[in-house]
Structure 1
Amino acid sequence: MELAFLKPLFDRPGPWASVYIDTSRATEEATKVQKLRERFVAAQLIDASADAYTVRAVIDTLAHEPVSGAPPGRAIFAAGAEVVLDLPLAVSPLNTEATWSILPHVAPLARLRGDEPPCLVAYIDRTGADLELRDAHHRETLGQANGKEWRGRGHRSIPTDRYEWHYRNKVENSWNETADIIAGEIAKQWPDSGARLLVLTGDSRERKAVHTRLPERIRASAVEADSGSRSPGASKSVLDRQIAEAREAYARDRLQSALERFRIGRGRPGEHRKASVDTGRGDAAEGVPAVVDAARSHQVATLLLAQDASDAARDVWIGPGVDDVAVQRGQAQAMGVAKPVQARADDALLRAAAAADAEVLLVPEGMRGPAGGLGAVLRWSTP
């Protein structure tokens, strides 16, 4: 999960109301159930000493949940009588949860938000391509790439043998120019789209021609799907399934790669391995003290958080700055924090990771990950 969307939560002081609620409406009494959940949320926040104005802001937001089209769940973060972030969830929370704490309780998002990557989809034919951006929650049209189509003086049939080579050469040159235009438009849109996966769909020959013309950095993130069409009204159900499978495979491979880098970087218990010039592998940190040190110095490239992390709720000491995090109170004071306060380790580390443009990957229950459930792949080695 990329963490940039969480930055607004760390630009203002707490305390914070953090609410995770199931918003599905699968039963006839869904509206009644929703009202009961809202009352439960209000009671939980009031019992935790949340101020009345912030509680009211949360409840007003929940009351405006649409009757239809609601996501499986929502995460709401509020402070100072204002809802700062209202997020749809890809997975419904098992239980409604409402907390009041110095930091927003963002750690559950790693499980509930979903980690399938945003993807750029290009619907390709001989005349150009339609570009679409997808993530787990919505789709957005990014525009078109229109190429050239040569029709040979209005003829729809192939000319006589004398001109056949000339005709075919013109058509081929026209398509090559169109493929160049499409690849160029994808390369232009890619950096600002936020996509991490490119799906090329449409006519087989045309999509392969575009694939070969992409810059290497984008081609490495591209897959082809054979069920899409640029034609209006074309069914996309099979394509949707193929894209979902490609996104799941991407997320799975990225986690496996990060865990492999973590295991190599960690080495044997108590051993530090230096980065390899040949492989580009960095060191790893494991356990709360080591990960806190790495997060404070912006070394964390990937934060690994196990779903059943025993160290997640461990207390650390923080200050107002995103890098003000320490295992001991005296250490925080030595860093210049006048009045350190306690916070959950996972939330404090996610705050530091978001500020450093790191990512967080959830290690599913039953998969071997870092001891205690908290680890990191580092940007550079610790001497």
Structure 2
Amino acid sequence: MHLHWLKPLLGRPAPFTTVHIDASPAEAAGESELLDRWRAVRRGLEHDGAPAAVLDEIAERLSVPDGRRTAHGRVVVADAHGVVVDRVVAEPPARSQGVHGPVPSLIGAVRAADETLCYLLVEVDRTGADLTWVEAGEEQASPSVTETVEGGHDDVHKTRDGLARRGQTRAEDSWQRNAEAVAAAVDARVRTKTPDLVLLTGDVRAVALVKDAVGQHVAERLVEVSGGGRGEGVHRDAFDERVAHALAEQRSRRRAAELDRYREGLGRGEGAVTSLGDVVEVLRRGQVAELVLGTEALSALDERTLVAGPEPLQLGLDEEDLAAMGVNGQARRFPAHVALLRAAIGQDAGVTFAEDGDVDLVDGVGAVLRWADGSTPSEAVPSQSADQKRLRQVV
């Protein structure tokens, strides 16, 4: 899971205002309206010195309905001048809260990224399809692009019993040709903009024909979802639940694949590292493909600090580490999770969250590497990072 959309936060002027709020409609939240929750959060931010203009902008954004009818959350991050990040989170926070300070509180935003998926919804019938691009986790629920594909063959009705077989054959031939036209359009769109998933729904016969006609690059990410369609009569709530289930399964598969890479790297003694010191070392060398954070250790990482310079990869356990990199007089202490995420974003690394017991993590943190050489810290031999006192054998 990549964090490219958080890059606008890098180099932005402090202070930062971060809001993580339950954005559920009142009937789903079982309590007050969103703006009532916001007013309570705003009072705390005003007490902490957040600028009124920034708070007004956040209030304006939250006042616009996001279109979701089920429980969900919202993460908003603003710098000194205004809102920089605004994302929807599938799960609302246990408690709506705001933080104002010298650095953004990034965990909520990264959680939002962990849930973000880009998918193409293909709703088919025997004449064509509607193609809808959706970024699950974007600020607004409305789709970004919708396109209609018409097959061009309109003889789609079989003749009644007793009439000529020729009419039935023509109808079936039209279905096939229309399905091929839809499949060709889907193939082309997926080559141009690679989604995480292609969700296929609609007329049962048309779905089967399109499924058979798409190319391998589409088939590898295609999931059939029942209950949708182009015409009237779709039970929207039930269909939305099926889509949400398909997205949740994809997130689980994505997370499992990253954790498998991490386990494999540790097992080989190369390709992955763990412990805070070793992860800091590989982050500042730009070696990290995926940062792995243990959810149970997030509070501990919030309490620990790391030292960072003006650039994201200028990272160390203490001031001496940065002095060795030639960074003098510009070192700042950050909460460990902020510094780690900042460095990950700075090298286009992804982030995966691991539940307690999923993988072996020292200090609640690990990393999957892009590359390694003889000076890379290894978990199979004594570490060459600043964490020299911890010797650890992974078996």
TM-score bracket, shorter-length normalisation: 0.7 to 0.9
- 1:19 Cα offset (Å): 3.0
- 1:157 Cα offset (Å): 5.2
- 1:199 Cα offset (Å): 0.8
The root-mean-square deviation of aligned C-alpha atoms, in Å, is 3.1
- 1:212-252 CA deviation, whole Å, 9 max, x = no partner? 33332331111112222211352223322221111111111
| Cα distance change, pair 221–357 in 1 and its aligned pair in 2 (3 A) | farther
- Are the equivalent residues in 2 in contact too, given 1:304–1:363 (CA < 8 A)? yes
Q: Whole-Å Cα distance in 2 between the matches of residues 177 and 67 of structure 1?
A: 43
Q: Whole-Å Cα distance in 2 between the matches of residues 100 and 209 of structure 1?
A: 56
| Cα distance change, pair 194–365 in 1 and its aligned pair in 2 (3 A) | farther
- TM-score, scaled to structure 1: 0.81
- 1:79 Cα offset (Å): 2.2
Q: Which residue matches 1:280?
A: none
Q: Which residue matches 1:66?
A: 63
- 1:304 Cα offset (Å): 1.5
> For residues 130-145 of structure 1, what are the structure 2 equivalents within 5 Å?
130-134=130-134, 135-136=136-137, 138-140=141-143, 141-145=145-149
Q: Which amino acid aligns with 1:57?
A: A
Q: Which residue matches 1:322?
A: 312
Q: Whole-Å Cα distance in 2 between the matches of residues 70 and 168 of structure 1?
A: 43
Q: Which residue matches 2:380?
A: none
Sequence identity, in percent?
28
Q: Which amino acid aligns with 2:315?
A: V
- 1:305 Cα offset (Å): 1.4
Q: Which amino acid aligns with 1:380?
A: W
Q: Which residue matches 2:294?
A: 306
- 1:200 Cα offset (Å): 0.7
Q: Which residue matches 1:213?
A: 213
Is 1:264–2:253 an aligned residue pair?
no
- 1:240-270 CA deviation, whole Å, 9 max, x = no partner? 2221111111111222222222112112xxx
SS in structure 2 at match of 1:108: helix
Q: Whole-Å Cα distance in 2 between the matches of residues 37 and 294 of structure 1?
A: 38
Q: 1:354 aligns with which of 331, 345, 357?
A: 345
Q: Which residue matches 2:335?
A: 344
| Cα distance change, pair 337–118 in 1 and its aligned pair in 2 (3 A) | same
Q: Whole-Å Cα distance in 1 between the matches of residues 23 and 155 of structure 2?
A: 54
Please say which of residues 339-348 and 28-37 is displaced more in the overlay: 28-37
- 1:97-130 CA deviation, whole Å, 9 max, x = no partner? 31312x4221233345661523211011111111
Q: Which residue matches 1:50?
A: none
- 1:56 Cα offset (Å): 1.8
> For residues 45-194 of structure 1, what are the structure 2 equivalents within 5 Å?
46=49, 55-64=51-60, 65-66=62-63, 72-95=72-95, 96-101=97-102, 103-111=103-111, 115=115, 117-134=117-134, 135-136=136-137, 138-140=141-143, 141-151=145-155, 164=165, 170-190=170-190, 193=193
SS in structure 2 at match of 1:308: helix
- Are the equivalent residues in 1 in contact too, given 2:114–2:351 (CA < 8 A)? no
- 1:282-340 CA deviation, whole Å, 9 max, x = no partner? x1121222222333343322221121226523322222223222333222233233422
- Are the equivalent residues in 2 in contact too, given 1:296–1:324 (CA < 8 A)? yes
Q: Which amino acid aligns with 1:98?
A: V
Q: Whole-Å Cα distance in 1 between the matches of residues 162 and 347 of structure 2?
A: 62
Q: Which residue matches 1:36?
A: 40
- Are the equivalent residues in 1 in contact too, given 2:75–2:112 (CA < 8 A)? no
Q: Whole-Å Cα distance in 2 between the matches of residues 155 and 365 of structure 1?
A: 57
- 1:29 Cα offset (Å): 8.3
Q: Whole-Å Cα distance in 2 between the matches of residues 62 and 240 of structure 1?
A: 28
- Are the equivalent residues in 2 in contact too, given 1:317–1:328 (CA < 8 A)? yes
> For residues 291-302 of structure 1, what are the structure 2 equivalents within 5 Å?
291-302=279-290
Q: Whole-Å Cα distance in 1 between the matches of residues 22 and 210 of structure 2?
A: 43
Q: Whole-Å Cα distance in 1 between the matches of residues 121 and 100 of structure 2?
A: 39
Q: Whole-Å Cα distance in 2 between the matches of residues 203 and 216 of structure 1?
A: 22
- Number of residues of Structure 1 aligned to a counterpart in Structure 2: 358
| Cα distance change, pair 321–158 in 1 and its aligned pair in 2 (3 A) | farther
- Are the equivalent residues in 1 in contact too, given 2:294–2:361 (CA < 8 A)? yes
| Cα distance change, pair 73–238 in 1 and its aligned pair in 2 (3 A) | closer
Q: Which amino acid aligns with 2:325?
A: M
Q: Whole-Å Cα distance in 2 between the matches of residues 81 and 116 of structure 1?
A: 26
> For residues 268-287 of structure 1, what are the structure 2 equivalents within 5 Å?
272-273=269-270, 283-287=271-275
- 1:173 Cα offset (Å): 4.2
- Are the equivalent residues in 1 in contact too, given 2:158–2:168 (CA < 8 A)? no
- 1:8 Cα offset (Å): 0.9
- Are the equivalent residues in 2 in contact too, given 1:57–1:83 (CA < 8 A)? no
- TM-score, scaled to structure 2: 0.78
- 1:1-27 CA deviation, whole Å, 9 max, x = no partner? 431221111143434333333455543
